[in-house]
């Protein structure tokens, strides 16, 4: 089965941190590409080790809406 997930990347110090919000799985890498590849591996490991109930509890039928906003301070 092939799943489609979101990936949110942020720079934290010298690392790029990648988060899959649907599963609450996180990984990191020296580059954005490495962080994404490491996140894919972490998600695959999660899916292999988790029960079907645990996976379905974390999955939402609607993908998260990720956007940017502007705020004046």
What is the residue extent of each domain of the chain?
A: 1-73
**HSE-up of residue 23 (Cα within 13 Å, Cβ side):** 27
Give the tens place of pLDDT for each residue, 42-66.
999 999 998 888 888 887 777 788 8
Find residue 17's DSSP bridge partners.
10, 28
3-class DSSP state of 16: strand
* Strand ranges for 1-73 from DSSP E: 8-12, 15-20, 25-29
CATH architecture of 1-73: 2-Layer Sandwich (3.30)
Give the tens place of pLDDT for each residue, 18-42.
999 989 999 999 999 999 999 999 9
What strands, in cross-sheet order, belong to the sheet with 8-12? Answer: 8-12, 15-20, 25-29
CA quadruple 51, 65, 2, 43: dihedral positive or negative? negative
Q: Is this structure's pTM higher than 0.85?
A: no
């Amino acid at each position: 089965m092939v799943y489609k997930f979101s990936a949110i990347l942020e720079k934290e110090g010298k690392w790029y941190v990648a988060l899959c919000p649907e599963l609450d799985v996180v990984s990191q890498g020296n580059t954005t590409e490495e962080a994404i590849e490491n996140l894919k591996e972490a998600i695959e490991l999660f899916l292999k080790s988790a029960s079907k109930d645990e996976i379905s509890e974390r999955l939402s039928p609607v993908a998260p809406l990720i956007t940017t906003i502007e705020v004046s301070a």
